[in-house]
Amino acid sequence: MRTNVLARTLVGATAVLGLAAGGLATAGTSFAASAPTAKTAVSAQDLSVLATNNFGLSSQQAKNIQCFLRTSPASYTGAIDGQLGTNSWKAFQRWLKEYWSYNDSIDGDPGPNTIKALQRMLAFGWGYTGSIDGIAGSGTKAAFARLANEDSVFYPC
C-alpha cells in the first residue's frame, strides 16, 4: 500500500512539474521574437563593390581623381561619380604599380600596400612628409586633397 501511495505521489508531483515547465515554456511565446527570415548571403566581393573610400575627399575632388585615372595609363572606364569605389581603386592600383612601386594585387581595396604606394607618390610632389606606413592619416588625406585640387594634373573628362 505504501508503494502505491508513494508511486502516486511521485507520478502526481512529476505531472505537476511537467505541466508547470510546459506552461512556463509556452507562457511567453506571445512575447517571443518572430521567426527568423531567410537572408541572402553576401560575399566579401559583393561588399567591396559597394564600398567607397574617398579618404576625406569631397565628391568633386574624387571626380577630379577619376578624371585623372580615365586619362592616364590606369585605364579607368567607370563613371565619373565622385565615389572612389572598387573600380576607381583598381585603376589607381594599376597607376601606382606602374609608377610608384605598388607590389600587391589589383583588387580595388585601398589597403595598407595601396596607401604606402600612394604615400610615396604624394611625398614626391604633393607635400606629404609623414612616414610611408600604410595608414591614411590626416597628413595622407591632406596631401591627397592637394593632388585632387591640382588643375595641372587633370584633363577634361
pLDDT along the chain (157 residues), means of 10: 42 41 45 48 44 90 92 86 96 94 95 96 96 97 94 63
Characterise 144 by phi-psi region: left (phi > 0), alpha (psi -120 to 50), beta (else).
alpha
Query: Would you state the pLDDT for residue 111?
Result: 95
Query: Would you state the pLDDT for residue 55?
Result: 94
Handedness of CA 151, 152, 155, 156 (dihedral sign): positive
Say what the pTM is.
0.66
Angstrom CA distances, 84 to 34, 52, 77, 141, stand at 39, 5, 13, 14
Query: Would you state the pLDDT for residue 156?
Result: 61
Distance of CA 16 to the CA centre of its chain: 55
d(CA 9, CA 5): 6
Query: Would you state the pLDDT for residue 151?
Result: 73
Look-up of cell digits 594585387: 105
Look-up of cell digits 521574437: 33
